[in-house]
Structure 1
Amino acid sequence: MESKEFIRGTIKTLVLKLLSEKKKMYGYEISARVKELSANEIQLTYGALYPILYKLEAEGLLSTESELFEGRARKYYSLTKKGNEVAKVKVSELQKFMDIVKNILAAPKTSLESWGY
């Protein structure tokens, strides 16, 4: 996807949505899932994803736990109770916003003259 401005505004909601479905994920798994679900259109970089994860954790929306995997520590993220509540709200808000944008984009062209301009 060419425009990163749309992605920047939705990363937090996408992460919350994925964690509400999967319960526990590590960073690379989150970015791989976004890439898969977007048919490779959205690729979350380390520099975009981890600041969001750290911010969500600081806001009390995520909890973390480390597990050893093939001799390396892997940090897993999961939603707190508050995080689950916020995820529902954020996903609902984003869906409503997308519906509004679709309506605007699908509206027939009108002349500004009909509005008195």
Structure 2
Amino acid sequence: MLPKEFIRGTIKTIILKLLAQNKKMYGYEITQHVAELSQKEIILSYGALYPVLYKLESEGLLITTTEVVDNRVRKYYALTPEGKKVAKVKVSELQEFNRILSSILSEAGPRVSLKIL
């Protein structure tokens, strides 16, 4: 498994990307999808997932709906139009960061500049 410090910095982007691809998902579904896509290298605990979901919702990037499934209430999360825009930006930013990081970590990588804001 990857160190938690790496996951903490990317969990928001991971959630936004999954919701952009899947329209709506519930919490357990998100955790299972992340585990599956990462070949169980990234395991999201509920203690890590739900605070991020609540923050995204309070920022107006997510909306929630509830449905009864098998006599249980399930809360679904979906992106708002603003959330879809932010998802694209965050994914693009993370891809650029990964490109730069790969360049830094390679032995003969070119010099790059990274602006820290």
Q: TM-score, normalised by structure 1?
A: 0.91
Distance 1:63 1:13 in 2: 16
Q: Which runs of 5+ in 2 are unaligned?
A: 110-117
Question: 1:54: how far off?
Answer: 0.3
1:49 aligns with 2:52: no
Q: Counterpart in 2 of 1:114? A: none
Q: Counterpart in 1 of 2:81? A: 81
1:1-117 paired onto structure 2 within 5 Å:
1-108=1-108
Q: Which has the larger radius of gyration?
A: 1
For 2:87, give the aligned amino acid.
A
Q: TM-score, normalised by structure 2?
A: 0.91
For 1:21, give the aligned amino acid.
Q
| Structure with a larger share of its residues in helix | 1
Q: Which runs of 5+ in 1 are unaligned?
A: 110-117
- RMSD of aligned residue pairs (Cα, Å): 1.1
For 1:10, give the aligned amino acid.
T
Q: Counterpart in 1 of 2:115? A: none
Q: Percent identity?
A: 63
Question: Number of residues paired by the alignment?
Answer: 109
For 1:104, give the aligned amino acid.
I
Off by >4 Å, runs of 4+ in structure 1? none
Distance 2:107 2:82 in 1: 38
SS at match of 1:108: coil
